[in-house]
Structure 1
Amino acid sequence: MKRYEQLVELLAADIRTGLLAPGTRLPSIRTITAQHGLSASTAFKAYYRLEEKGLVRAQPRSGYYVTASAMQQLAAPARGAVDGKAGKMGKAARVAPRPDVSELVFAVLGAAQDPAIVPLGSAFAAPGLFPLQRLGKSLARSSRFIQGPDTVASLPRGDEGLRGQIALRYLAMGMAQPAEELIVTHGALEALNLCLTAVAQPGDLVAVESPGFYASLQALERLKMKALEIPVHPQDGLDLAALADALQRHPVKACWFMTSFQNPTGASLPLEKKKALVALLAARDIPLIEDDVYAELYFGHRGFLPAKAFDRKGLVMHCSSFSKTLAPGYRVGWVSPGRFGQQIERLRLMTTLSASLPAQLAIADYLQYGGYDKHLRKLRHSLESQLSSLLAAIARHFPADVRVSRPAGGYFVWVEFAEGFDALALHQAALEHGIGVAPGPVFSARRNFRHCVRLNYGHPWSDRFEAAMQTLGMLVRQQSPYADAPR
């Protein structure tokens, strides 16, 4: 598909889902080329094609606008609606068309990489929170002892010493996990994608969270799978009743969920609900891909057991990494694969073969000698303090009726504004003031949550962040439905 055709499909999807309502002015050619990395001629070609389809019309010296008849031309009945109660900030489970969120995600992530942007929309914590200098010493020390046979002995499951250290982390968590079953990967994202490929095929239906981690939607998009969105409440987590209804009505091949400190809401399923989730899926023999990268970033004295702890049939593939807790750039993760170890190992042999051996050895050395638990206690304390600062700034600067999640770990909060608020417009306006936010539609295959944003508290609080929150509050109040509200 040509690039202008991709842009036509993207904008047509925005019109179909109501993100671009009749009468809405399309982004200027300058804006659209900057957002998507296109030439002006490609952007014009896409707009001309939309005009030929009757979806937009040009107004001289003004731009392109969505036509009044566009929705009727593109309208299609919602497919696969599932009855079921959802949380106050959620909706009933629905089958979405094949996800198409990558362009929007890339635009948001591209902005987050600019060091001049205040990273409230970032997916990462501040590098200064991690012991990178001490980790570098572990890298230098362990690399000196690499022998020739070592470079192939660990393929493809990963370094034996590192897998042993990870198994000890499971024991500290309160569950046994044999080291020989673990597979070390290029970060958790590779583990998650390998698991998905092992248990589902193109065209299959996969249950994901809504709102949920955008990388799960991108994986389904890339593999030509369909998403069944299960609502998530920002405090109570995944809606198990909606999931149960959905499993009765749809041929779900697999599930991809975050059961602790979910991205983007920060919600965690209580222990009993995790147990119920595993039992629900076990009754139907449906695999669960459990994304648990924030597991060690809990507040308080005890961590949260994963759903994997209740797995008796080998259906849960537990994925995590050190990217969020220790070594963001080292790209070392792992999966406890349950019954799917052989499939995942063979997929690994056909793709990346192995994670970097020096990085594995460095992390194994640090885990054994570097004081990892001491570092984690300090990191958790910093994140909890930063969360308090962000919540206080929201109370000072945002309208009183906004709803904010209160996570017990991780480093994201989910903010819901009044219906009718436009988070994508806030995202654009904030960028013009040097501030990044993550707008709600990037976390949904159907581009829902237009009135929500995710904010990151993974950076030490400073005057810069306080000023950014004050500016965001001003931008929020300039939008409907707040613009005409009494002060």
Structure 2
Amino acid sequence: MNRYQQLAVLFKQQIQQKTWRAGEKLPSVRVTSRCHSLSNGTVLQAYQLLESQGWIIAKPQSGFFVAADVERPQVIETSTSINPVSINDTLFDFLKSQTSQKSLKFGSAFPDPSLFPLQVLNRSLASAGRKSNPNVVLDNMPPGNEALRRLIAQRYIQQGIPISHQDVVITSGALEALNLSLQAVSEPGDTVVIETPTFYGARQAVERLGLKAITVPVDAKSGMSVEHLESIFSQHDVKACWLMSNFQNPTGTSMSEGKKRKVVELARQHNVYLIEDDVYAELYYSEQKPSSLKTYDFASMDERVLHCGSLSKSLCPGFRLGWVVTRRYNQDVQKLQLLSTLSGSAPIQQGVAHYLQNDSYDNHLRKLRRTLLKRQQWMINELKRHIPEVEFEVPSGGYFIWLKLPKGVSSEDVYQNLKQYNILIAPEALFAQSFAQAGYIRLNTSLADQEQLSNAIAKMSQEINLLLTV
């Protein structure tokens, strides 16, 4: 292949990938010549080839522009991959599909963004930015913005957990908080316990850190088996346990107060550290916020719970703001953060602190919980109307439903079939260490478009019935 042909292929790929969009001007012949160390004549040949194939058009005295989509040749994409599908492949495919603007993200891990006060938050960011000084970056290095840490600590104190702002480390989202916490209390080769099914981030973290995992089952009706957990702690040298005590992802179940107390007692007895993922705690539907494992840990000097929280599910998705509450491992978490991501975003920390200080976060939360409950109730009625053969428990918070499919129906088949109609659910393979369970899918109940959702549920019913007849 000649050099002008190679350059033409490169630009064609960039146009296919939307790096250059319809109507946008390509770099001039002179600029492209300089960037690729080619002669002007070679670049001109490449552009002329693309023009003859319908990818670009030439405008006299203006240059070369990307042709409109309707003028381009149709390209049929084929896959040449022969690698076996792993959890990484499945997860990558799922996460990439969530970026599609055409799809209904029925299995998304994120709440409907229209539920959040983004305009108010943007004003807070702008206001904080106007007041910032040249030292702002240094002021927001680990453990993070002091004003923000104080505001977070005050909320814990009001919930009966008497921590100090010095116990809080701000992180780039809850996932970083959880990963740093796990790293702080374990080393490669250690044995840890994770739930099954569980948030896929936990499975990825264990694999990435070179840890050995033992799974403890979580049932949507009865929750995690404390007896099973106690047996694992007794029979194995377990260093840490990563778990969700409230509105577990994906099942939506919550531990009772007795279970929470017992789990902390077991951790203390067996010298195990608990990594508590509590990102959905503010999304409760009852009159009172549920307690956390940290509630039963703060009174002891033998701290066992590294508590991880976030505002991503309750206030500002996409801002990537989380934290770890730990006194014993505070310095260790800070050191690990400095050696990995250095720190969280200084403007984000300042802006959120400004919002929490000057706007009514609690009023927003009350409205958010009412809306989430209303949407959950609507979806439950739709599921019962369209797919009476499926089973599920109704969570008392959060925005997930863990749907049990009829016997013999594969969640992977339902997932793949619905993808053809741009309906994206979350199949069991993302959450389960093994495939011993019955087929399950996770649905997001926070979405707003009732007509689109009703049509999606009807289509899901149709696909399930078709699979039952195979």
Q: TM-score range with shorter-chain normalisation?
A: 0.7 to 0.9
Query: Against the structure 1 CA distance between its residues 108 and 448, is the aligned structure 2 distance closer, same or farther, given a 3 Å change threshold?
Result: farther
Q: Within the alignment, does 1:235 sit opposite 2:221 as a pair?
A: yes
Q: State yes or no: 1:117 paired with 2:103.
A: yes
The structure 1 residue matched to 2:379, chosen from 387, 390, 394, is: 390
Alignment partner for residue 275 of structure 1, among 237, 254, 261?
Answer: 261
Aligned to 2:54: none
- Match for residue 393 of structure 2? 405
* Range moving further from structure 2, 194-203 or 407-416: 194-203
Can you list the C-alpha shifts for 1:247-283, whole angstroms capped at 9, x where unaligned?
A: 1222211000000000000000011110010001111
Q: How does 1:141-152 map to 2 (within 5 A)?
A: 141-152=127-138
Q: Which residue of 2 aligns with 1:369?
A: 358
How far apart are residue 348 of structure 1 and its match? 1.1
Q: 2:181 aligns with which of 179, 182, 195?
A: 195
User: Matches of 1:142 and 1:171 in 2, distance apart?
Assistant: 26
CA contact (8 A) 1:320 1:334 kept: yes
Q: Is the 8 A contact 2:239 2:271 kept in 1?
A: no
Equivalent position to 1:476, from 454, 461, 464: 464
1:340 aligns with 2:329: yes
SS in 1 for 2:194: strand
CA drift of 1:393 comes to 1.0
Rounded to whole Å, the distance in 2 between the matches of 1:418 and 1:397 is 14
- Once residues 337 and 103 of structure 1 are traced to their aligned partners in structure 2, the CA distance between those partners, rounded to angstroms, is 34
More displaced, 442-451 or 194-203?
A: 442-451
Contact 1:389–1:461 (8 Å) recurs in 2: no
The alignment partner of 1:215 has SS state of helix
Matched, 1:162 2:151: no
For residues 298-332 of structure 1, the C-alpha deviation after alignment (integer angstroms, 9 at most, x for no partner) is 00211111001101221100001110011111111
Out of 404, 422, 442, which is 1:416 matched to?
Answer: 404
Q: Which residue does the alignment assign to 1:287?
A: 273
Question: Residue 366 of structure 2 aligns to a residue in which SS?
Answer: helix
Deviation at 1:167? 0.8
> 1:330 is matched with which residue?
319
State the distance in 1 between where 2:190 and 2:438 align.
Answer: 27
Deviates more, 1:391-400 or 1:155-164: 391-400
Q: Cα offset for 1:372?
A: 0.6
User: Retained in 1: the 8 A contact 2:252–2:398?
Assistant: yes
Task: Return the index of the structure with the highest Cα Rg.
Answer: 2
Q: Displacement, 1:166?
A: 0.3
CA distance in 1: counterparts of 2:437 and 2:124, whole angstroms: 44
Residues of 1 paired with 2:166 and 2:442: CA distance? 38
Conservation of the 8 A alpha-carbon contact between 2:234 and 2:270: no
SS at match of 2:467: coil
SS of equivalent residue, structure 2 residue 324:
strand
Q: Does 1:463 align with 2:451?
A: yes
SS at match of 1:334: strand
Determine which of 107, 124, 127 is the counterpart of 2:93.
107
1:172 aligned partner, one-letter code: Q
**What is the CA distance between 1:42 and its match in structure 2?**
4.2
What TM-score do you get using the length of structure 1 for normalisation?
0.78
C-alpha distance in 1 between matches for 2:419 and 2:363 = 37
Deviation at 1:227, TM superposition (A): 1.5
Deviation at 1:460, TM superposition (A): 1.6
Shift in CA distance, 434/450, structure 1 to aligned 2, threshold 3 Å: farther
Structure 1 segments unaligned to the other structure (5+ residues) = 1-37, 51-99
The offset of 1:341, in angstroms, is: 1.3
Higher deviation after alignment, 441-450 or 300-309? 441-450
* Counterpart secondary structure, 1:415: strand
8 Å Cα contact 1:211-1:449 kept in structure 2: no
SS class of match (1:259) = coil
Tell me which amino acid in the other structure corresponds to 2:233: L
Distance 1:343-1:475 versus aligned 2 partners, 3 A rule: same
| Equivalent of 1:264 in 245, 250, 259 | 250
- CA distance in 1 between counterparts of 2:135 and 2:111 reads 36
Q: For the aligned residues, what is the CA RMSD?
A: 1.7
1:267 match: secondary structure: coil
Distance 1:385 1:102 in 2: 35
Residue of structure 1 in register with 2:205 after alignment: 219
Measure the CA separation in 1 of the matches of 2:130 and 2:221: 48
The answer on 1:359 being equivalent to 2:357 is no
| Counterpart residue identity of residue 242, structure 2 | W
Question: Aligned partners of 1:470 and 1:41: how far apart in 2?
Answer: 34
Deviations 1:205-238 (A, max 9, x none): 2100111111000111111212111001113321
Are residues 1:453 and 2:421 paired? no
Q: Is the 8 A contact 1:316 1:338 kept in 2?
A: no
Q: Deviations over 1:430-465 (max 9, x none)?
A: 111111110112102224445110100121241011
Greater shift in the superposed pair: 115-124 or 186-195: 115-124
Counterpart CA distance in 2 for 1:177 and 1:460 is 37
Q: Which residue of 2 aligns with 1:444?
A: 432
Measure the CA separation in 2 of the matches of 1:237 and 1:286: 20
What letter corresponds to residue 244 of structure 1 in structure 2? E
The farther-off stretch of 287-296 and 102-111 is: 102-111
Partner residue in 2 for 1:74: none
1:39 shift after superposition: 7.6
Q: The residue matched to 2:328 in structure 1 has which SS? A: helix
AA paired with 1:471? K
Q: Which runs of 5+ in 2 are unaligned?
A: 1-76
Opposite residue 156 of structure 1, the aligned amino acid is: P
CA distance in 1, matches of 2:288, 2:269: 30
Counterpart of 2:441 in 1: which secondary structure?
strand
Would you say 1:319 and 2:305 are equivalent positions?
no
Counterpart in 1 of 2:73?
Answer: none
Shift of 1:382: 0.7
Instruction: Identify the residue that residue 37 of structure 2 maps to in structure 1.
Output: none
Displacement of 1:40 after TM fit? Answer: 4.3
* Counterparts in 2 of 1:420 and 1:338: CA distance versus 1, 3 Å: farther
Provide the residue aligned with 1:426 in structure 2: 414
Query: Secondary structure of the equivalent of 2:313?
Result: coil
- Following TM superposition, the consecutive aligned residue runs of length 4 or more in structure 1 with deviations greater than 3 angstroms are 38-42, 447-450
Q: Distance in 1 between matches of 2:88 and 2:289?
A: 33
Q: Alpha-carbon deviation of 1:472?
A: 0.5
1:177-198, Cα deviation, whole Å (9 max, x unpaired) = 1111100000000000001111
SS in 2 for 1:144: helix
Displacement, 1:338? 3.6
* Sequence identity (%): 37
Partner of 2:164: 178
